[in-house]
């Protein structure tokens, strides 16, 4: 199946088939695609939680207005974005670049300066929003890869982020629960399964210049 067909068959599943878990074999490359997502300045200002435990999924149900996906999915991926980029975080990043690429630190000094300069000019809310946007690229990659693996998914953002943070033990000073993605296989009786995909017509979406 080519990737356009895979994306056309993707839709936001409302009810998964509880009986069929996503295998580790299918899950691993999906997560790898998330890992390989591009991020601004390479900073990856996020973490990826993979909730497999039925007990924890159960605990998370009250955080969702509609419990249908969370109570039927195989895995819930929770994307956590950073609220700050501390000097300590950057130090770790540059140490890692130096290890992987063997770049002498003096060559990297200019890049470090430009990052410091860029981040220092962002207000707290702007930095939070910037980190969330990078996290949505990961979300995009996860959904795309899931479609290629014939794994169904449903992105969800309308949850109680504070309750989620509490249950998942997130330090709300440093991080926030940004967005979630349920993975599994569509239930036979998912009402949305047969609906036509709705997208803006090309003439409203695209403009060639």
Out of 3, 54, 67, 86, which residue is the one contacting a copy of itself (CB under 8 A)?
A: 3
Instruction: Residue 153: name the closest of 76, 46, 71 by CA.
Output: 76
Cα(177)–Cα(181) distance, rounded to whole angstroms? 12
Q: Which two tokens stand for residue 156?
A: 């969800």
Residue 97 as a binder of a copy of itself (CB under 8 A): the answer is yes
**Span from 14-22, 30-38, 182-190 in contact with a copy of itself (CB under 8 A):** 30-38
Residue 199 as a binder of a copy of itself (CB under 8 A): the answer is yes
CB 172 within 8 A of CB 162: yes
Instruction: Residue 182: name the closest of 66, 36, 44 by CA.
Output: 66
Q: Which two tokens stand for residue 185?
A: 């296989």
Residue 139 as a binder of a copy of itself (CB under 8 A): the answer is yes
Residue 157 as a binder of a copy of itself (CB under 8 A): the answer is yes
- For 121, what's the count of Cα atoms within 13 Å in the CB-facing half-sphere? 6
Cα(164)–Cα(59) distance, rounded to whole angstroms? 9
Out of 13, 22, 33, 177, which residue is the one contacting a copy of itself (CB under 8 A)?
A: 33
**Span from 15-23, 38-46, 182-190 in contact with a copy of itself (CB under 8 A):** 38-46
DSSP state of 9: H
Residue 88 as a binder of a copy of itself (CB under 8 A): the answer is no
Residue 179 as a binder of a copy of itself (CB under 8 A): the answer is yes
Compute how many residues bind a copy of itself; rule: CB under 8 A: 64
Cα(153)–Cα(33) distance, rounded to whole angstroms? 15
Smallest gap from Cβ 9 to a copy of itself, in A, equals: 10
Cα(70)–Cα(58) distance, rounded to whole angstroms? 8
Residue 51 as a binder of a copy of itself (CB under 8 A): the answer is yes
Chain residues in the site for a copy of itself (CB under 8 A): 3-4, 7-8, 10, 12, 29, 31-33, 35-38, 40, 42, 44, 47-53, 56, 96-97, 100-101, 118, 125, 129, 132-134, 136-141, 143-145, 148, 155, 157-158, 168, 179, 195-202, 204-209
């Amino acid at each position: 199946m080519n990737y356009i067909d895979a994306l056309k068959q993707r839709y936001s599943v409302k009810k998964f088939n509880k009986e069929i878990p996503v295998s580790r074999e299918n899950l691993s490359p999906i997560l790898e695609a998330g890992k390989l997502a591009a991020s601004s300045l390479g900073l990856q200002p996020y973490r990826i939680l993979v909730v497999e435990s039925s007990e924890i999924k159960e605990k998370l149900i009250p955080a969702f207005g509609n419990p249908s996906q969370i109570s039927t999915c195989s895995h819930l991926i929770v994307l956590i974005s950073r609220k700050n980029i501390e000097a300590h975080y950057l130090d770790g990043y540059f140490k890692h670049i130096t290890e992987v690429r063997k770049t002498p630190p003096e060559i990297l000094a200019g890049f470090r300066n430009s990052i410091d300069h860029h981040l220092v000019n962002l207000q707290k809310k702007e930095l939070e929003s910037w980190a969330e946007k990078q996290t949505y690229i990961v979300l995009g990659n996860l959904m795309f890869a899931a479609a290629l693996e014939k794994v169904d998914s449903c992105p969800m953002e309308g949850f109680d982020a504070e309750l989620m943070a509490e249950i998942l033990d997130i330090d709300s000073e440093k991080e926030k629960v940004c967005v979630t993605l349920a993975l599994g296989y569509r239930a036979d009786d998912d009402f949305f399964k047969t609906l036509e995909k709705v997208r803006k017509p090309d003439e409203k979406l695209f403009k060639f210049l």
